[in-house]
Structure 1
C-alpha cells in the first residue's frame, strides 16, 4: 500500500490537472511511445508557443482527474503511454500540432480527446486539426460580410459613372449644336 506522502502527492496532481481541465476548451490524449528526446523537445516548444500545456501523466491520475471534472468515456484511452495537451483559448492549435507529429512518427498517435467537456474520438481530433486557425476563419467571415456591401457599392458607382458619362455626352452635344 502506498504511503500517505505518495497519496497526498497524487491528490495534489489530480487537483492541479482537474483545475486545468475545467479551464480548457480542448484536450488531446496521445500515445507518445517511441518519440526521441529531440523530437519531444521540439513538440513541447511548438505547443508552448501555441499557448498549450503538454504533460506526460500517469493513467490513474488522468482517469481520476477526468472523473473529478465529469468527463466520462475516455477509459479506453488510459492504456499504455499517455500524454495530454490542453488548450484554453484555441481549439485548433493542439490538435493540429499533435496530428502533424503523428504523421511524422509511426509510434506516436492520437488516442482521443475532448472539446468543451464532450469526449471525441481520434477522427474528430484529426478533423478539428484540418480546420483553419481562428484568425483565418474570422478573416473569411469578414470577407463574406463585406463582399455584398462592396458589390452594392460597385453597382452604385457604376450607375453614377453612367449618369456622368450621359450628362457629359449631352453637354458636348449641346456645345457642338
Structure 2
C-alpha cells in the first residue's frame, strides 16, 4: 500500500466508525477464503459489514471517534464487524463463531462503551431493531383488532339467531 491508499483506508474506516452503532472485533486464525466469503455474505444479509484491516491503520482511524477503547483489542489478525443496528453485527458474529472454530470474538464497543466477549454475546441475544419495531406495531394494532372483534360479535350473533328462526319457520 502506498501513502495515498493508506490515507484513503484510514478515512474510510474513520467514516465507518463515525456512522455505526456497534463494532465487534474478531480474530480469525487461518480462515479459508470460502469461510470469509460466507461470513461477509451473512453480514451483508443482516445489514452489517465485515472488514479486515491493518491494525495500525485501524488505530489511527479510531482517533476522533467514540470507539477509542477498541485500540487495545487490535492485536494479531483481527477483523471488524460493524453495523448501524446495534444488534446485527454481534448476532451474526456470535452465530458464525459457534459453527467455526477458527473464528473467535475478542470484544467490541457500542459507542464509548467497551464490551468484552460476554457483553457481545449478551448483545447478540437482544432482538434486532426490526424485531422491536414489529413488536411495537403488533402492540399498537392489537387493541384495534380486539375492538373490531367485539363490535362485530353482536351483529354476528343476531344474524345467527335470525337464520335459526327462518330455518325453524321453513321447517
Q: Which TM-score applies when normalising by structure 2?
A: 0.77
1:106-130 deviation digits (Å, cap 9, x = unpaired): 2311112222453323223222322
Q: For 1:75 and 1:46, how far apart are their aligned partners in 2?
A: 26
Counterpart position of 1:50 = 46
Q: For 2:15 and 2:59, how far apart are their aligned partners in 1?
A: 14
Q: Name structure 1 gaps, 5 residues minimum.
A: 173-177
Q: For 2:146 and 2:134, how far apart are their aligned partners in 1?
A: 18
Matches within 5 A, 1:111-130: 111-130=106-125
Q: For 2:33 and 2:53, how far apart are their aligned partners in 1?
A: 17
Counterpart position of 2:99 = 104
User: Shift in Å at residue 144 of structure 1?
Assistant: 1.4
1:13-32 deviation digits (Å, cap 9, x = unpaired): 22221011111122211011
Q: For 1:70 and 1:143, how far apart are their aligned partners in 2?
A: 35
Moved more, 123-132 or 142-151: 123-132
Q: Residues 48, 153 of structure 1: CA spacing in aligned structure 2 closer, same or farther, 3 A cutoff?
A: closer
Counterpart position of 2:169 = none
Q: Rg bigger for which structure?
A: 1
Count residues with an aligned counterpart.
Answer: 166
Counterpart position of 2:141 = 146
Q: Name structure 2 gaps, 5 residues minimum.
A: 167-171
RMSD of aligned Cα (Å): 3.0
Counterpart position of 1:38 = 34
Q: Which TM-score applies when normalising by structure 1?
A: 0.75
User: Shift in Å at residue 10 of structure 1?
Assistant: 3.3
Q: For 1:153 and 1:28, how far apart are their aligned partners in 2?
A: 46
